[in-house]
Homo-oligomer: A and B are copies of this chain.
Amino acid sequence: MNQSRLATRKYYSLPDPLPLWRGGSLSSVTLAYETWGRLSPGADNAVLILHALTGDSHAAGLPSDSDRKPGWWNPLIGPGCAFDTDRFFVVCSNVLGGCQGSTGPCTTNSESDAPYTTDFPVVTIQDMVRAQRALFDGLGIRRLAAVAGGSIGGQQALEWVLRYPDDVDAALLFGASERIGPQAVSFNHVGRSAIMLDPAWREGRYNPGEGPSAGLAVARMTAMITYQSQQSMWMRFGRFPTSRSASPDRFGEKFDVESYLDYQGASLSTRFDANSYLYLTRAMDLYDATEGYESEEEALRRVRARTLHVGINSDWLYPPGDVRATSEKLRALGKDACYREIDSVHGHDSFLKEWERMTELITEFLPAASSTQPRTAEKRAYATGE
């Protein structure tokens, strides 16, 4: 077993209170994180990986005590992988507001000595990124070689290059745009409504382990539909009856896709906190990359990093046209932005499935290692053409 694939969850407590984008502050913030590879003597090889909505810091590696699954980007992170841990010091932290070790609604509020639950303040992607910046200060890393993520993780990558233009060399955004549309907000609203409908939610004041698991399951089902495409659902489920339960319920036989959704819903409920789901989907809704700037142009003009914007042709949660639009606006401002597309039936989830294409896109975009990289000429061509 390769040592660089092993990681244990570490914790970093911010030395100062975290001021919040929408006002107020959090007096005490801890981020859970994992790292792979080794920080270079010059501290110039750090790559920050940013997880999607219900993800965690376990981006790579085998199942561990704290994470029963292999890393969610495991095929992309490791020695010789797209994010080559022989070259890069890869870091992934659980987001602020999350429930996988970082400060969130489950955390004990030092002022009341009880979990925050719904007294937790509204947190935004801006806040998540500010907390990440503090983590890197703590790690003694001033500048990142790259930030990379999909979905809400990609929006954090975008926020990094807007907020800290001098601190990032390159950003890779997969299925992520400057803001989501009203349809995506609506699906989040349905999910939140289902959680709040569950009597176990109790206005958020449930005890650990007694949360609104059925409501969270319905929220997850709704989201799972948006992560896939009509075509991939036809291919995978068609109209086949379920094979998971022998007898029809009182409303007639169930379809396979229903059993699948039930399973996915129940599965998330065992590993995720419902209040955290409320806060994180809200952060997804609220994010508009250009908020707080005079204009979109003023915001995008700040970018100094090279950026890769990857759309997915079957993605309807973050439509490829929206992803492409950001890259085009950046290019119009003279920035080093490029757009690539993943051609896949898998919809939004493609950035968690299309490993070969993802590897190709990341490898093509990331700066070559000066000593070992044979494809310098190709890279240059790539950087100038689109």
Mark A residues whose CB is within 8 Å of B. Answer: 22, 118, 122, 179, 181-183, 185-187, 189-190, 192-194, 197-199, 214-215, 217-218, 221-222, 225, 228, 230, 233-234, 236-239, 250-253, 255-258, 261, 265, 278-279, 282, 285-286, 288, 316, 319
Chain B hits for A286, CB < 8 A: 252-253
Q: A182-B256, A183-B230, A190-B221 known; 19 other A-B pairs, CB under 8 Å?
A: A122-B251, A122-B252, A182-B237, A182-B257, A186-B233, A186-B257, A186-B261, A189-B221, A189-B258, A189-B261, A190-B218, A190-B222, A193-B265, A194-B194, A197-B214, A197-B215, A230-B319, A252-B282, A252-B286
8 closest A-B pairs (Cβ-Cβ)? A182-B233, A182-B257, A182-B237, A122-B252, A251-B282, A189-B258, A193-B218, A186-B225
User: How distant is A53 from chain B, measured CB to nearest CB, in Å?
Assistant: 15
Could you give 23 example pairs across A and B, Cβ below 8 Å? A122-B252, A181-B230, A181-B239, A182-B233, A182-B234, A182-B236, A182-B256, A182-B257, A185-B255, A185-B258, A186-B233, A186-B258, A187-B225, A189-B255, A190-B218, A192-B251, A193-B217, A193-B265, A194-B197, A194-B218, A197-B198, A222-B222, A251-B279
Given contacts A218-B197, A230-B316, A230-B319, contact A255 B182 (CB under 8 A): yes
Q: In the bound complex, what is the Cα–Cα distance between A285 and B215 (angstroms)? A: 23
Q: Which of B190, B192, B257 contacts A225 (CB 8 A)?
A: B190
Q: In the bound complex, what is the Cα–Cα distance between A233 and B183 (angstroms)? A: 7
User: How distant is A295 from chain B, measured CB to nearest CB, in Å?
Assistant: 16
Interface centre among A181, A228, A236 (most CB of B within 10 A): A181
Q: In the bound complex, what is the Cα–Cα distance between A237 and B186 (angstroms)? A: 11
Give the interface SS of chain A, mostly helix, strand, loop or mixed. helix
User: How distant is A261 from chain B, measured CB to nearest CB, in Å?
Assistant: 6
Chain B hits for A198, CB < 8 A: 197
**Contact in complex: A179, B258 (CB < 8 Å):** no
Q: Which residue of B lies closest to A187 (CB)?
A: B225
Chain B hits for A251, CB < 8 A: 122, 192, 278-279, 282
Q: Which residue of B lies closest to A233 (CB)?
A: B182
Chain B hits for A316, CB < 8 A: 230
**Contact in complex: B182, A285 (CB < 8 Å):** no
Q: In the bound complex, what is the Cα–Cα distance between A215 and B215 (angstroms)? A: 10
Q: In the bound complex, what is the Cα–Cα distance between A53 and B132 (angstroms)? A: 48
Chain B hits for A185, CB < 8 A: 239, 255, 257-258
Q: In the bound complex, what is the Cα–Cα distance between A251 and B214 (angstroms)? A: 21
Q: In the bound complex, what is the Cα–Cα distance between A252 and B282 (angstroms)? A: 8
Chain B hits for A252, CB < 8 A: 22, 122, 282, 286
**Contact in complex: A288, B239 (CB < 8 Å):** yes
Q: In the bound complex, what is the Cα–Cα distance between A194 and B257 (angstroms)? A: 17
